[in-house]
Amino acid sequence: MVKSLRISLAASAALAFSALPSAAQVSDDVVRIGVLGDLSGIYNDLSGKGAIEAVKMAAEDFGGTVLGKKIDVVSADHQNKPDVGAAKAREWFDTGGVDLINDLANSGVARAVAGVAREKKRHIIVNGASNMGITNELCSPYAIHYAYDAYSLAHGTGKAVVEQGGKTWFFLTVDFAFGIGLEQQVSNVVRANKGRVVGAARHPLATTDFSSYILQAQASKAEIIGIASTGADAVNAIKAAVEFGATKNQKLAALLLWIEDVHSLGLPAAQGLLLTNAWYWDMNEDTRKFAKRFFDRVGKMPNMAQAADYSSTMFYLNAVKAAGTDDPDKISAKMREMKVNDMFTKDGYVRADGRFVHDMYLWQVKTPAESKAPWDYLKPVATIPAEQAFQPLSESTCPLVKK
Amino acid sequence: MLVLLKRSLILAVVAALLAVPLMPHFIYPVFAMKVMCFALFACAYNLLLGHTGIVSFGHAAFFGTAAYVTGYAMRELGLPPEISIAAGVIGSAGLGAAIGALAIRRQGIYLAMITLALAQLVYFVFLQAEFTGAEDGMQEIPRGVLFGLIDLRSDFNLFYVVMALTGAGLWLVYRIVNSPFGEVLRAIREHEPRARSLGYAIEKYKILAFALSAGLSGLAGSLKCIVFQLASLTDVHWHMSGEVILMTLLGGMPTVFGPAIGAILVSALHHYFDALGAWVTIVIGLIFILCVLVFRRGVAGQLHHMLQERRPTAPSAERRNLKEGQHAQV
């Protein structure tokens, strides 16, 4: 008995680490929007509560009902695990009465859910993830890639850095669909501009100790250290690079930075970095108005994915209203006819492969002296016009594209 | 009396399961399939823990390896599900024999550490190998058509296939436990030197027990992979090894099907208390403390024990019906 007690204690200790948090609510048959985001992991900041609130704001601003039916918002945590996300999406579509899944931060999860959505013929809108698969091999009439993607990041930050003279690159890449996809896209841009990729180090998601990876990057003698990760990973990598003195001889190119990342890095460490974002809160009167309302609810400024969560939910609800039904195929057709004009973008539209096309922007992080107020972090560098910001339709491998 | 009670209980569970796909809004069939996979996994694990007295802390390796092998066979090689599942089971059983052969050179906590270490090696192989998709997992695995007849893309068909295979797996566990071979395993558990002195080559018995347990765990892993069309690192992570120990202990180590109850408990807690978020861990922790303090034999073990105490003649009557040297365990 003593033995089994010991085993019991060992197992309970193991359990304490093993179960991870998750959350979900389910209710009646209405137009139901599920927010599947990271509510507990390293992408919690850029997705999380902000994403849920943004979708709720859209549902409220729409009036709470569409076609006389209540709009309901449910949420769940995918824990950055594709299996958890796919299982939740499957359950939502099968028995939860969910019509649309939004946000989907984390490329691995987004890919897995895209497969489920295609099989179940229900809508997803990807705002938090960048993987190109959504509009290529995994495309379907039901998937829309809304906010940004790896191609637009590569053709924003990547291209700008190469044009400033960064010809040799070494990548610090987070080892899953997001990082690898981004590294590929940026490598294409570097090579197209007669640059050279000298190597890459791959690290797992949520790495805290970057020392060995930074040493590899320094040993490579590349001019540019491309950071193909985001959120806490990118923050930790940048801090480690600064601490190891890598920034003396080499330049950092953070390939996907969010306003929250700049906030947690602080301007002294982040100043001068280039970043590609689809949206920034301080662009014009409309964005500031939305940002203020969001700030009052969440306590921080919205990022581009959260603004896109709001905008895309509105877009979907408008399409439901215009289609006069919640039939997924009819809504898909409507969404490909309608244009989006709101605080997120002007004249945005959805292509055959599911790509939502709009202008992207290249920003630079302000110096501490330039920043006048809290969250005043970015200054515009260039606008990347919609036609150049995204993968040309002719290059898409999506079978829905007629060639 | 006890046997009758248990028979009717098993019949009731089977009848309830048969009805699940007919009322998908009452119990979600995919969830029920997941529970069945874990029930088989836990019972297979208990072959080692409860019946041989070996604490393995690396069973996720067998569960996950089978999932990846099945996924690879179906997605990359385009093999039908029956062959893919068989490949998964054989792969896991082979791995089980190999890990078992190394691990049984030590005992107790050292054995547990060796299995954990080897399982972590397996984990890193799947993390780094090209075909596994690392953190993304192996996605978009087709469910295929079983024997060229049964289309598994329908949850309805798949449910009964999973139920049949789980049933077969559990029946095999029952047969193993109640065989002369199972008797030797228990002899090893109770007193290893004595079993050796009786002339049993206990190493061979232990390795075989490892392989059988791993193979059946593999069956569970293969089924889960087909149900979710995904094989991921979660399946090979050591959390999974911990989870299966927990299920087994909660359900009841001294019984054959007790761990299945543990599997149902743990999965249901995760599923239905989802909305509690991080609190699920605390709830499960509290239940576990309660279990250890109040019924240390696990849910099924304690029930079994109480029923036997109440009818002191029942077990002896039961035993008379059995062959010499055989000890019924249900």
- Per-residue HEC secondary structure of B273-310 comes to CHHHCCHHHHHHHHHHHHHHHHCCCHHHHHHHHHHHHH
Does the residue A199 lie in any domain?
A: yes
Put simply, whether B277 touches A (Cβ < 8 Å) is: yes
Query: Are residues B275 and A83, on separate chains, in Cβ contact within 8 Å?
Result: no
Q: Note whether A72 and A214 are same-domain residues.
A: no
Q: Which of residues 138-157 of B touch A (CB under 8 A)?
A: 139-140, 155
A:B CB pairs within 8 Å: 136
Contacts of B213 (CB under 8 A, 6+ apart): B44, B45, B47, B48, B56, B59, B62, B96
Same domain as A81, residue A177:
no
Specify if A321 maps to a domain. Answer: yes
Tell me: do A65 and A208 sit in the same domain.
Answer: no
Are A11 and B246 an interchain contact pair (Cβ–Cβ within 8 Å)? yes
Among chain A residues, CA nearest to B133 = A176
Q: Which of B30, B136, B280 to mutate to test the interface with A (most CBs of A within 10 A)?
A: B136
- Tell me the CATH number at A136: 3.40.50.2300
Does residue A251 sit in helix, strand or coil?
strand
- Position A164 scores a pLDDT of 84
The number of beta carbons lying within 10 Å of the beta carbon of residue B110 is: 11
Same domain, A242 and A316: no
Domain boundary residue among A309, A326, A350?
A350
Any domain includes A17 = no
Q: Report the gap between the CA of B176 and the closest CA in chain A (Å).
A: 22
Span between the terminal Cα atoms of chain A, in Å: 71
Give dist(CA B286, CA B273) in Å, integer: 14
Residue B246 forms contact with A (CB below 8 Å): yes
- Structural domain contains residue A388: no
Do A202 and A269 lie in a common domain?
yes
Tell me whether residues B277 and A77 touch, CB distance under 8 A: yes
Domain around A216: 151-277+361-383
d(CA A186, CA A181): 9
Q: Across the interface, which of A8, A19, A86 has its CB nearest the CB of B281?
A: A19
Smallest CA–CA distance from A118 into chain B, residue: B140
Residue reference for tokens 């990547």: A158
Same domain, A257 and A371: yes
> Average per-residue pLDDT in chain A?
87
Distance from CA of A8 to the nearest CA of B (A): 7
Q: Which of residues 286-315 of B touch A (CB under 8 A)?
A: 288-289, 291-292, 296
Same domain (yes/no): A206, A325: no
B138 Cα to chain A: minimum distance (Å):
9
Say whether both A209 and A338 belong to one domain: no
**Cβ-defined contact of A83 to B232 (cutoff 8 Å):** yes
Structural domains in chain B, CATH included, are 2-320 (1.10.3470)
Asked whether residue A355 is domain-assigned, the answer is: no
- Give the whole-angstrom CA distance, residue B101 versus residue B111: 11
Q: Is the dihedral of CA A388, A393, A398, A400 positive or negative?
A: positive
In terms of Cα–Cα distance, which of B65, B77, B97, B90 is closest to B231?
B65
In a domain, A11, yes or no: no
CB A102 within 8 A of CB A363: no
d(CA A129, CA A304): 12
Minimum Cα–Cα distance from A14: chain B residue: B242
CB atoms within 10 A of CB B4: 8
A394 occurs within a structural domain: no
Q: Do A1 and B243 touch (CB under 8 A)?
A: no
Inter-chain CB proximity A15 and B285 less than 8 Å: yes
Looking at residue A325, what is its pLDDT? Answer: 84
Closest residue in B to A97 (Cα) is B25
CB contact under 8 A, A81 and B232: yes
Q: What Å distances lie between residue A77 and A40, A315, B101, B278, CA to CA?
A: 7, 24, 40, 11
Question: Percentage helix, strand, coil, to 5, in chain A?
Answer: 45, 20, 35
Across residues B220-233, what is the average pLDDT? 92
Mean pLDDT, rounded, of chain B: 86
Name the minimum distance, in Å, from the CA of A340 to any CA of chain B: 32
- Interface contact A11-B135, CB threshold 8 A: no
Residue A25 falls inside a structural domain = no
pLDDT of residue B278: 66
Residues A195, A273 within the same domain:
yes
CA distances for B140 relative to B78, B225, B292, angstroms: 12, 10, 41
pLDDT at residue B315 is higher than 60: no
Cα dihedral B142, B147, B151, B155, rounded to 10, equals: -80
- Which residues on A lie below 8 Å from B246 (Cβ)? 11-12, 14-15, 18
Nearest-CA neighbor of A215 among A245, A174, A252? A245
**What is the pLDDT, as a whole number, of residue A158?**
87
Q: What whole-number percentage of chain A has pLDDT above 90?
A: 46
Contact A83 B137 (CB under 8 A): yes
Predicted pLDDT at B275: 67
Contacts of A10 in chain B (CB under 8 A): 245
Contact A231, A46 (CB under 8 A): yes
Closest-CA residue of chain A to B288: A12
A65 and A199 belong to one structural domain: no
Cβ contact, residue pair B136, A111, below 8 Å: yes
Q: State how far residue A76 is from chain B, nearest Cα, in angstroms.
A: 8
Question: How many Å apart are CA A254 and CA A237, to the nearest integer?
Answer: 9
How far is it, in rounded angstroms, from Cα A240 to Cα B250?
Answer: 45
Residue B204 is encoded by which pair of tokens?
A: 């061979």
Q: For chain A, say whether B134 makes contact (Cβ under 8 Å).
A: yes
Give me the residues paired with residue A76 across strands.
Answer: A36
Query: How many structural domains compose chain A?
Result: 2
Nearest to B217 by CA among B197, B235, B237: B235
**Residue ranges, chain A, pLDDT below 70:** 1-29, 403
User: How does residue B90 score in pLDDT terms, banded at 50, 70 and 90?
Assistant: very high
The amino acid that residue B182 corresponds to is G
Instruction: Tell me the shortest Cα–Cα distance from A175 to chain B, in angstroms.
Output: 7
Do A219 and A255 share a structural domain? Answer: yes
Instruction: Specify whether A205 is located in the same domain as A296.
Output: no
What pLDDT is attached to residue A268? 87
Domain boundary among A303, A326, A350: A350
B228: amino acid identity, one letter: F
Q: What is the mean pLDDT of residues B212-236?
A: 93
> Is A5 close to B292, i.e. CB distance below 8 A?
yes
Whole-angstrom Cα distance, residue B55 to residue A7?
8
Q: Are A84 and B230 in contact (CB under 8 A)?
A: no
CB B272 within 8 A of CB B265: no
